[in-house]
Chain A
Amino acid sequence: MLHQNLEWFFPHKVEEAVKLIEQQGVILHGGGTRILKTSPKSIRGLVDIGNLNLNYIHHADNHFSIGSATTYADVIRYSKKTCKLSMLADALSEAASTPLRNRITIGGSLKDFPIWSSLYAPLLALNAQIEIADKHDKVISLEEYLESGVIKTKHLIKRIIVVDDPHLIGGVKRFALIRFEYPLFTVAVALRAKKKVISEARVYITGVKGRHKHCKRAEHFLLEKELTDDIIQQAEKHFAPKFVSDYKYSAEYKEHTAKVFFSDLLHELKGTLK
């Protein structure tokens, strides 16, 4: 339950918002879905980012910039209209439900990184960068954002930057028993090929022990190879994410399922590699 005397701030500048969140117990408010799910009493102030003009998707110089207040639904709508960002839109289309996708923001999902996130795996596979504002503005890779611990600091995410690369193909698969359920894990693969031979591979999984894993062994194995049934079978052996058992599934079951999903993804991508 949120505190009844909660204080609201509606800044018009990013710098003002950054200053406000330096205070103890004051956090950012985008769509608010996560705040309401956790409702910590320790929150005494909310900084609404609605007036910061961070709800946009721009395309310039072969890059997409997605403002942090952009909702999942906005990304999906943009992708339908332009046939771009389809890997990301596919993943987001399966997250939550239509009314929730109209509220969940890209920035909020990145900052919170819930274990069921459908956003991180595709963005990591797309080698996305993130622009953040704290004491200094900076652009870092999403991987660095996670691994250097910046995610745990107080900051405001301004935008996500994704390269518009027509030669990169990719896919995402999430494991959920029913559509509405939080996924257990999400696998994302992005490949680039020259004459059907893979020249770059990026493989990520979220929902694993430690939240995310960059599957470098599988990537390494795929390099300089053509995707054949035999290669896909072998690649599966190099894809070994580690899970934690829970009340529903054992770690072994999750690992086995993840391998099947990884192999299915490669089979789907096989037909589209040029």
Chain B
Amino acid sequence: MKLSFKINNKSKYLELFPNETLLNVLRQNDFTEVKCGCNEGECGSCTVLLDGKPVNSCQVLAMSVQEKEITTVKGIGTLYTPHLLQKSFVEAGADQCGFCSPGMVLASYSLLKENPKPTREEILTALDGNLCRCTGYVKIVDAVEITAQKLLTNNLEME
């Protein structure tokens, strides 16, 4: 069947079976920026935002989110027009293999949108569902702090 979804501020018709997870449906319809890691809701590489909140798309049945706004990492910034947060990830050296990065960026984005001045502890809690096997997390947390600092210094709001 084909159903309409709201993805990255656009309406899209996606092909799906009623038993499929949002992760499968997105990837099969070319949203390959959503990564498939553990498929059990533990690694966070498949994170997308549902109405602005991070969820594991492998733990969401696609049929249940037709009314919701879905955001993938390409919805906040692209290779040519990266978001401030994505630039901070590069600046801090928070990307290594890059597999966890879409999930990390989206989880951080959601946190900063809700709380532009998070403590290090709050950053750790917000990222507790995202695993990284390369960086040791320090640089990722640094990237979130750098973004928060830039928002504060330049009197910007998270967009």
Closest residue of A by beta carbon distance from B63: A8
Q: Tell me whether A215 is interfacial, beta carbon within 8 Å.
A: no
Q: Report the bound CA distance from A50 to B66 in whole Å.
A: 11
Closest residue of A by beta carbon distance from B131: A180
Closest-CB distance, B118 to chain A (whole angstroms):
12
Within 8 A of B (CB), among A1-46: 1-8, 29, 31-33, 35-37, 46
- With contacts A4-B18, A33-B59 taken as known, whether A100 is within 8 angstroms of B41 at the C-beta atoms is yes
Q: Report the bound CA distance from A100 to B58 in whole Å.
A: 11
Closest-CB distance, A267 to chain B (whole angstroms):
24
- With contacts A3-B19, A8-B18 taken as known, whether A100 is within 8 angstroms of B56 at the C-beta atoms is yes
| Most A C-beta atoms less than 10 A away, residue of B40, B42, B59 | B59
State whether A98 touches B128 (Cβ < 8 A): yes
Q: Tell me whether A73 is interfacial, beta carbon within 8 Å.
A: yes
- A242-273: CB near B (< 8 Å → 1, else 0) gives 00000000000000000000000000000000
State whether A98 touches B19 (Cβ < 8 A): no
- Contact partner of A99 (CB less than 8 A), chosen from B19, B21, B47, B63, is B47
Within 8 A of A (CB), among B84-109: 107
Closest-CB distance, B111 to chain A (whole angstroms):
9
State whether B129 touches A5 (Cβ < 8 A): no
Closest-CB distance, A182 to chain B (whole angstroms):
11
Q: Tell me whether B146 is interfacial, beta carbon within 8 Å.
A: no
Closest-CB distance, B123 to chain A (whole angstroms):
11
Q: Tell me whether B60 is interfacial, beta carbon within 8 Å.
A: yes
State whether B61 touches A99 (Cβ < 8 A): no
Besides A33-B59, A100-B59, A100-B129, 9 other CB < 8 A contacts? A4-B17, A8-B18, A8-B63, A8-B64, A32-B61, A97-B44, A98-B129, A102-B50, A103-B56
- The 4 lowest CB-CB distance pairs between A and B, nearest first, are A97-B129, A2-B19, A99-B129, A6-B18
